[in-house]
């Protein structure tokens, strides 16, 4: 779409595109520890039925995903893999950090092997607090992310420099 690159998107069109992006999100799941159980309940159980929000769980690869949920303890050994698969996701991409460990290290804040927050390796859009967060909290994080996508200026995002975390 040449319109997006030109930076002259009409507002109604932006809104339309944002709405369609908002309600069709493939989620790539990084279950790294006990938070993955809650994430499984949120994404894979009929009780919470995340598909009514337009979230489609279980893509075959990160190359098909729109946003990433990192749930659990990121260790220094796992960090390069998280970074690498995040790089394989197509833009525009979003990240939800779920649980205390992924947010800041959590109970392992003084550990020798745990990364103190996944935001040290990839940019995070929504932090879901809790140890572990309930599936409802995870869902709340998705709703917040959807609001963020809805209010986004696509052309602005397109023009901006690529996000680089060092």
- Per the CB < 8 A criterion, the answer to whether 24 and 163 are in contact is no
First to last CA, the chain: 31
Q: Give min distance, CB of 67 to other proteins, in A.
A: 27
Q: Give min distance, CB of 85 to other proteins, in A.
A: 17
Return d(Cα 101, Cα 109) in angstroms, integer: 8
Identify the three-state secondary structure at position 147: helix
If the CB atoms of residues 29 and 115 are measured against other proteins, the closer one turns out to be 115
- DSSP-derived letter for residue 75 is B
Site string for other proteins, 35-74 (x = CB under 8 A): ----------------------------------------
111 sits near other proteins (criterion: CB under 8 A): yes
- List residues near other proteins by CB under 8 A: 76-77, 109-113, 116
């Amino acid at each position: 779409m040449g319109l997006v690159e030109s930076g002259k998107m009409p507002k109604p069109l932006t809104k339309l595109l944002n709405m369609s992006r908002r309600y069709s999100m493939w989620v790539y799941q990084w279950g790294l520890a006990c938070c993955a159980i809650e994430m499984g309940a949120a994404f894979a159980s009929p009780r919470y039925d995340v598909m009514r929000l337009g979230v489609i769980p279980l893509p075959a690869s990160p190359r098909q995903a729109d946003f990433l949920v990192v749930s659990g303890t990121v260790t220094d050994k796992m960090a390069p893999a998280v970074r690498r698969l995040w790089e394989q996701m197509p833009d525009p991409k979003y990240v939800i950090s779920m649980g205390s460990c992924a947010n800041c290290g959590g109970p392992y804040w003084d550990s020798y092997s745990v990364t103190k927050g996944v935001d040290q390796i990839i940019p995070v859009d929504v932090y879901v607090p809790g140890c572990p967060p309930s599936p409802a909290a995870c869902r709340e994080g998705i709703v917040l992310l959807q609001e963020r996508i809805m209010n986004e200026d696509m052309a602005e995002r397109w023009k901006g420099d690529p996000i680089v975390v060092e």
